[in-house]
Amino acid sequence: MRSPCGSSSIISGKQQDFRNVTLQVLPTGRGDEFALDGSLILLETAEGEQYGYVESSETSVLYAESAKVNALSMRYGMIRSQALSMEESAEFIRAMAEER
């Protein structure tokens, strides 16, 4: 969040609507061993099927095997346990926006 990315109105949150989003900030140096592999998306269908999608600079993979999806879920849990709470994250984001 400290690296410039996007216009100042986007950075300040004026054009963002996060009503259906939970956002938690992972501070630098926390959970690096779990979080630096690229993006991770966990999905569950209306029928209860679970999937894990992993994307990095070299590959993207959609997993359906329960063992792999469980491992990805555990990784997500480890990342989330190191992240700031939703309230702390909101305050951190407000402070970052004010710095700009």
pLDDT tens digits, one per residue of 44-53: 999 999 999 9
Same domain, 4 and 45: no
The token pair that represents 13 in the structure block? 């949150």
Same domain, 33 and 61: yes
Same domain, 76 and 32: yes
Report how many domains make up the chain: 2
pLDDT tens digits, one per residue of 38-84: 889 999 999 999 999 999 888 999 999 999 999 999 999 988 999 99
Query: Which domain does 50 fall in, by range?
Result: 27-81
Same domain, 74 and 92: no
Which DSSP string do the residues of 19-83 spell out, in sequence order? TT-------TTSSHHHHTT-EEEEEE-TT--EEEEEE-SS-EEEE--HHHHHHHHHHHHHHHHHS
